[in-house]
Structure 1
Amino acid sequence: MSFKLRLSVLSIAIFQTFSVQAAIPANPSIETITVTGDRFDASPEQQLAVINTIEREEISRLNPKSVVDLLETLPGVSVTRNGGAGQSASISMRGTNSSHVLVLIDGVRIGSATLGAVSFNALSPENIERIEVVKGPRAAVWGSDAIGGVIQIFTRKLEGGEWFASAEYGSDEYMRATAGLGVSHGDGHTSLSINREQSDGYDIKNDAEDDDDGYDRLGISINGQQNLNQEWTLTWIGQLDTGHYEYDNSRANEADYDNYLWNVAAQYQTDTLTSKLAVGQSQDKNENFRADNSDLGVSLYKTTRDQVNWSNRYSASDNLTFIGGVDWSKESIAGDYAIDERDLVGIYGLARYQYGKLLMEGIVRYDDVENIDSETSYNASLAYQLNEQWRITASAGTGFQAPSFNDLYWPGTGNPDLVSETSENLDLTVHYSSDNLRGYVSLYQNTINNLIQWAPTPELDEDGYEIWKPANIQNAEITGVELSLNYSTWGVEHQLGYSYIDAIDQDGDEQLVGRSEHEFDYAMSYTWSALDILMNYHFQGERNAGDIDYDGTTDYLDAYHQLDLSLGYKLGDAWLLRLKANNLLDEEIISDRNYFSPGRQLFLSVSYQAF
């Protein structure tokens, strides 16, 4: 059976399942939320991209040890770990590369411009208020990197007089202490949150180095606003993540990191116009070394990113909205590079029009990346409201990712002739929403060209061997189906997610390395009086691991199942005890070759909230 026929049969089966589930009795506990997929607050009905959210209450119940623990619960989001919570990890969205996902914290772009990666292991989940994940190419709104989607992380906000504190102890000598306080100042407030944790860890890698790989981290965030009058508001945010972790590698086995960001913004708002001007900076700094041999030296990766964003929304009428603005950033890196900084400038415009049951949206953006090239991105979307419950959305868009500094200028192997990776995406999504159930099913295809991979060159080194350098030589086609359901039956809340991804190298007709065809997530929660229970199940299909043993054949990582359980008990209005069991079945989980995720773990926490 051909792939297209298999995909059609699978899509029909999923759609029929989705339609049957829509007949479940109503439950008003599913509430409407506000999202920021186009940079401004709006109801989900005004957004034409698929957006998944994780709220503070759910974060508390999940009791994650890393941000990737949260993201892995979402359909279409795949995680690759080099060990446990304190180790490096990467995110793939809808089958794209990890570098094809843009990550923002309170609107500030983060990540390394040398490695092209985000330090998810440095982020403290306890300092997060909510997460929004925007699926599909959003380069027309956000610029470079948003080929697979955008992850927006928002830090915790507390009103004046509100505060919380919690402590936790668990497996591998894990210890955590967290506190937060809200302070009022006139017609405004500021929140301060702090999280400190450490663990002795475990041996993360199957190699000759038999030792525990522990970590410690400190996260501090500040988030505030001041209303100057009815039109003007000032906001400010700041975050510091610093820590240390151990890992297994022949050259280096420990690392220190110091990451920070800050942002100050002024907003002017009337009934028809909202204008925001934000100035900020972020730093991603990582020093790798080997503790028992200083002769090997220290590897330093440091990116400093200055950012200025001016965004505007104008409501011309009840049915017509315009959004547009300008983004500027300067990326500066440390190291012996031929070029160690570059400017990026982007100008974008969006128009959205409601005509009866039809919602139309068009976005165009122009980006200029210094010393590389310029890119024009677009996104065109249509949504039709079939009735109060059903809506169908179709969209087409493009995206791009600029090459990293390592790809371009790494001493001896950089290739300054590289161009940006580009993508073309088609998406068809059917949404359903009622009092008791929300969900969607998406069919999408993403064609990515000029992917950067290492390739031999005509040059030879001093020993006569070929010199390899990055080159724009790979193309890929990713086709997939994504399903999400949230519903309630007899007081039990259910969340279900499924992804089918066919990510093919167009030149070799092979599944891309690190991808699974099938992923499935199911969560069930129930609250009775002072007790709440949450069960999470995750299935990860087998992954293409490449040719591990260099025998000319493709190797695969085994599929695995993970079951987590969380039990909470309220002691009065403010106190909460929580017991969390991760990997309850104690299954061997390997998402990257030779690296093991933790076995069964238990954690006990106590928290107090004065809200």
Structure 2
Amino acid sequence: MSRILPVMTCVIAWAPAHAIAQAARTTPPPSPTEEIVVTATRAPDPIGDVPASVSVISAAQIADTPARGIDDILRRVPSVDLPIASTDEQHPTDTIVSMRGLSGIRALVLLDGVPLNDPFFGYVQWSEVPLDTIERVEVVRGGGATLWGNYAMGGVINILTRPIDRTELVMASSGGSRGTTRTDGHAAVAGQSYGIGLDVGQSHSDGYVEQIVSARGPVSVPTSFTAHTAAVSGEAHLSETLTARARAGWYDNDQNFLTRLNTNTQRNLRTTGSLGWRPDRRSLLELNGFFIDERFLTDNPGTPDGADPLAEEYVQNSHLTRAQDRGASLSARREWSGWLRALSAGIDWHTIRGNDRARIFDETGALTRTDLGAGAQRFVGGFAQADLRPLPQVQVLASVRYQDFLSYDGTDDTPGGLGANLPHRHSNDVDPRLSLRWRLPAGFALRGAVYRAFRAPTLDNLYRAASVPGYILYGNSALAPETLRGAEAGFDYIHDTVRLQATAYDSVISNFITYRYLDADALPPGFDIGARLINAGRARARGVEAELSFRAADALLVTLGYTYADSVVTRNAEDPASVGVQQPGIPKHRVSAGLDWTGPRGVVLSPRLRWLGATSGDPDAIYRTQQHLVVDLGGRVPLGHGVEGFAQIENLFDRRYIGTNDGFTAPLYGRPFTATAGVRVKLD
């Protein structure tokens, strides 16, 4: 579905930092405004000593924000671009994520330093991470490919789960309107030299009918969603200098999307491991590895000839996608106390192999053909970074990555496709970044950065075709990686109970991935319209992001966020109508605000609001969503030692607005009023 958009999906080059992240979790922050973050520099640093635009979402903020998935919370973070609909209310391939107006899938999402982006399509299934198992989320805006590799063109989102540093039990269970239920649990047993943890989660929603009233019929159903996740993790201190960690997780979900026969199921297995050697407190050598196995089945309906599309349907195509994703990295870091504060370097290797087998049926249910798209990718890269302090108040981060890509074993076995044994495609890229932070008196600091980043096409972009009666969209095995050149400048103010950060950015994307329509003589029999993905044109994204957090009183915390994004295609000979049009799904203006008030007897009330301007739903701005203001409300109250009750209301005033309108489905409403209540237990 999302492949029709001009901004297409991409694939990951992995560079995990799980052991560094674990070390940071056990380091107490110097003050409430000096949290420790790891994603910006791949090392634990106070947030006030990082030359980047960074947001941190704590476990308490997650608990107090009405949400079913972490994507509902990230929508309030400046410059994070997500669909208006939540992950359980849209087709999985439309759960795209980008940052700074780049649109499509141009942000890297990590779970404890390991990629969460789907290996075949690039989307993110946010429900894979139960909310009550999260310790915090770090959002680093701006080109991050130098340190983290592929996908990090617009920035990096790192979701960090609860550490295994103490024996504890955390459980939360809730239920409410529209059949909504959610149960999360985290249990850990920790000894002097070991730790074992278990994370589990279950969520369900009967959903609501998303289509506008005029587009509903007998085939329409509420979009329901059920997900389960379980993960076991362990940590062992093999000696005073050697630590081993491992994690294995299982995830599945089932969705009924919009109509009776439109169903999606996913099954993922995710395993990771790391070995860290710290010969002294200033040195770290780390070896990491991971393996991911995925299975995704989507059934998509069509309408029998001459029938009412709102009244009759049949399964027209059934796509089964299988992919395996594996990788390893070796990194080292050495710290000093002089003007050369630290040196870091690492190498990483990453391969993806997958296939998409599509069975195509006629309206009688007979199999008419089977389409196959398959291939493999290999990424090999390395990075180096120097942390320099030429003056006590000046920090300079100089980093560079070399990345080598290879796409091979490609097959495009579809009507009019390119066949099997497609030519291998090889390319490489050098991506530097230079960042500067100058600390001024009274808590102020100035920041600036220039960088280059990249994004490689996914297996979906390269080899998979998607078709419906009369229309087919091809991948393109000759696609080259996109490249971005960007610059940013901003300032920080961190003092006592106030943290303010504002940044202006400007970036240009070359080799922009879009599509072109095919001439009639290039179409296979039975198809009236067809298109193929291409590298064409250029895009520009520039804007301003600002975030303010301050404690107005001992019992009152205030947060404000604002984003302005000017994001347009500047050159596209294949679709001139798209030039100068704001990118799909990117509002020009976005505002968020929140209050956390602690009252008598420990009662906490947390209203949240977000306002988004209208957006384009397609490259030519033919279809539009509606601007809207949504107010949510959360609250919790202590019930006894380690026990609290909580209640959450989404869309408090039940505002109705069109949140999805891309021209491929009927316009869809955003989530209506939904209320849930539950109990959370914390024992240690």
Q: Taking structure 1 as the reference length, what is the TM-score of the superposition?
A: 0.90
Answer yes or no: is 1:381 the counterpart of 2:453: no
Distance in 2 separating the partners of 1:489 and 1:118: 36
Decide which of 326, 332, 342 is 2:353's aligned counterpart: 332
State how 1:195-594 maps to structure 2 within 5 Å: 195-206=201-212, 207=215, 208=217, 209-248=219-258, 253-269=262-278, 270-289=280-299, 296=316, 298-320=318-340, 321-335=342-356, 340-356=375-391, 357-370=393-406, 371-410=425-464, 413-457=474-518, 460-463=522-525, 467-491=530-554, 492-507=556-571, 508-528=579-599, 529-546=601-618, 554-593=622-661, 594=667
Retained in 2: the 8 A contact 1:155–1:221? no
Task: Give the letter aligned to residue 276 of structure 2.
Answer: Q
Shift of 1:294: 8.0
Greater alpha carbon shift after TM alignment, 457-466 vs 399-408? 457-466
Greater alpha carbon shift after TM alignment, 46-55 vs 421-430? 46-55
Retained in 2: the 8 A contact 1:77–1:94? yes
Shift of 1:59: 1.1
Shift of 1:186: 4.1
Distance in 2 separating the partners of 1:228 and 1:500: 50
Greater alpha carbon shift after TM alignment, 137-146 vs 311-320? 311-320
In structure 1, the residue matched to 2:112 is: 106
Distance in 1 separating the partners of 2:154 and 2:50: 17
Retained in 2: the 8 A contact 1:81–1:90? no
% identical aligned pairs: 20
Shift of 1:364: 0.7
Retained in 1: the 8 A contact 2:66–2:650? no
Retained in 2: the 8 A contact 1:530–1:571? no
Retained in 2: the 8 A contact 1:127–1:219? no
Retained in 2: the 8 A contact 1:360–1:383? yes
Retained in 1: the 8 A contact 2:103–2:583? no
Distance in 1 separating the partners of 2:59 and 2:101: 27
State how 1:79-158 maps to structure 2 within 5 Å: 79-82=82-85, 85=88, 87=90, 88=92, 89-158=95-164
Distance in 2 separating the partners of 1:278 and 1:158: 18
In structure 1, the residue matched to 2:411 is: none
Retained in 2: the 8 A contact 1:90–1:120? no
Greater alpha carbon shift after TM alignment, 123-132 vs 376-385? 123-132
Distance in 1 separating the partners of 2:105 and 2:237: 38
Q: Deviations over 1:284-305 (max 9, x none)?
A: 4321126998864531223211
Shift of 1:100: 0.6
Shift of 1:555: 3.9
In structure 2, the residue matched to 1:11 is: none
Retained in 1: the 8 A contact 2:355–2:373? no
Retained in 1: the 8 A contact 2:132–2:172? no
Distance in 2 separating the partners of 1:311 and 1:544: 42
| 3-state SS, counterpart of residue 59 of structure 1 | helix
Shift of 1:75: 0.9
Distance in 2 separating the partners of 1:538 and 1:247: 26
Q: Deviations over 1:220-271 (max 9, x none)?
A: 1233322222211111122222121110269x51111112311111111122
Describe the shift of the 1:338–1:587 C-alpha distance in structure 2 as closer, same or farther (beyond 3 A): closer
Distance in 1 separating the partners of 2:443 and 2:621: 49
Describe the shift of the 1:462–1:58 C-alpha distance in structure 2 as closer, same or farther (beyond 3 A): closer
Retained in 2: the 8 A contact 1:156–1:223? no
Task: Give the letter aligned to residue 537 of structure 2.
Answer: Q
Distance in 1 separating the partners of 2:594 and 2:46: 25
Answer yes or no: is 1:610 the counterpart of 2:683: yes
- Superposition RMSD in Å: 2.3
In structure 2, the residue matched to 1:600 is: 673
Q: Taking structure 2 as the reference length, what is the TM-score of the superposition?
A: 0.81
Describe the shift of the 1:540–1:338 C-alpha distance in structure 2 as closer, same or farther (beyond 3 A): closer
Distance in 2 separating the partners of 1:577 and 1:399: 45
Unaligned runs of 5+ in 2: 1-29, 302-311, 358-371, 407-424, 466-472, 572-578, 662-666
Retained in 2: the 8 A contact 1:590–1:597? yes
| 3-state SS, counterpart of residue 298 of structure 1 | strand
| 3-state SS, counterpart of residue 118 of structure 1 | coil
In structure 1, the residue matched to 2:367 is: none
Shift of 1:597: 2.2
Distance in 2 separating the partners of 1:555 and 1:288: 25
Task: Give the letter aligned to residue 394 of structure 2.
Answer: L
Distance in 2 separating the partners of 1:585 and 1:137: 38
Describe the shift of the 1:293–1:122 C-alpha distance in structure 2 as closer, same or farther (beyond 3 A): farther
Greater alpha carbon shift after TM alignment, 66-75 vs 214-223? 214-223
Shift of 1:589: 3.4
Describe the shift of the 1:553–1:119 C-alpha distance in structure 2 as closer, same or farther (beyond 3 A): closer
Describe the shift of the 1:302–1:81 C-alpha distance in structure 2 as closer, same or farther (beyond 3 A): farther
In structure 2, the residue matched to 1:68 is: 71
Give the count of matched residue pairs: 579
Describe the shift of the 1:393–1:290 C-alpha distance in structure 2 as closer, same or farther (beyond 3 A): closer
Q: Deviations over 1:422-444 (max 9, x none)?
A: 10110001000001100111000
Unaligned runs of 5+ in 1: 1-27
Task: Give the letter aligned to residue 673 of structure 2.
Answer: R
In structure 1, the residue matched to 2:177 is: 171
Shift of 1:63: 4.2
Shift of 1:122: 4.0
Retained in 2: the 8 A contact 1:308–1:328? yes
State how 1:32-47 maps to structure 2 within 5 Å: 32-36=34-38, 37-47=40-50
Q: Deviations over 1:357-405 (max 9, x none)?
A: 1111111101111134111111011111112401101100011110111
Distance in 1 separating the partners of 2:569 and 2:377: 31
Distance in 1 separating the partners of 2:502 and 2:552: 21
Retained in 1: the 8 A contact 2:319–2:356? no
Describe the shift of the 1:82–1:578 C-alpha distance in structure 2 as closer, same or farther (beyond 3 A): closer
